[in-house]
Amino acid sequence: MLKMMLAFFRDLWRYRFQVRKQDAWIRKFAKKKNYALNPNWMIHTNLEIWLSEMEETFGRRYCPCFEPSGDAQLDNKMLCPCKFMDDEIAEYGTCHCTLFGSPTLSKDGWKQSNQRLTSEYRIPLNLKDGILDARGQPLDSRRGLPVPDAMHQLKSALNNYTDKQLTLIVERQQEALNLQKIAAYRGFGESHRKKGDHYEVVITLDGSTPKGSSSSCGS
């Protein structure tokens, strides 16, 4: 928990200028749509940090809950505020990431939505001997994307990972390409290759070239 708190304040300082800009448009949009904003300051701020990170990493303000799919039409729908938001607020009381919500949502309703989000992303990782198998997660009913995806599983793994090299197993080429961008943005070393029916992505946290590296990621 302490490590997560330190990481939160480190990222808040790093993205402090971007977060201010995110907060300005978020509040303007919420007022226009008559939506409430998540009253939990840390969750609200974390989402603004993650939006900033998504924009810095991928060049567009994607919803922080999902990595880009590679499908241009779907990816456009996932730009925050996403096209799924109204339906999700009608169903859950909040959008998927819990940033926006119904103005009539109770304190308990916000708490339940926050718990739902937390339970989706804080799962036991299939991590053993330096290999994280990110496959096999349930798909979101609206987007058809895994929850949690490889990007979020990587973030979760790094909270407690101490070795210099981590290998991720993913199903799709786009997931491997996303991890490549994440590694480049964070200053990690990275290599990837197709291996049978999956893709293998090797990341070195010290920025060195992975052993036996390959940058081939053909379909």
Summarize pLDDT for 5-35 with one digit per residue, the tens: 888 889 999 999 999 999 999 999 999 999 9
pLDDT tens, the chain, 219 aa long:
677 788 888 999 999 999 999 999 999 999 999 999 999 999 999 999 999 999 999 999 999 999 999 999 999 999 999 999 999 999 999 999 999 999 999 999 999 999 999 999 999 999 999 999 999 999 999 999 999 999 999 999 998 899 999 999 999 999 999 999 999 999 999 999 999 999 999 999 999 999 765 555 544
CA distance 174 to 141: 19
Please state the pTM of the whole predicted model: 0.92
**Domains, the chain, with CATH or none:** 2-121 (3.90.460.10), 127-204 (3.30.110.40)
**Spatial contact of 160 and 171, defined as CB atoms under 8 Å apart:** no
Q: Count the helices and strands in the chain (H runs, E runs).
A: 8, 7
**Spatial contact of 61 and 116, defined as CB atoms under 8 Å apart:** no
Residue 197, token pair as written in the block: 């029916």
Task: Please report the pLDDT score of residue 159 as a whole number.
Answer: 87
**Spatial contact of 148 and 123, defined as CB atoms under 8 Å apart:** yes
Helix (H) or strand (E) holding 169: strand 165-170
CA distance 184 to 5: 24
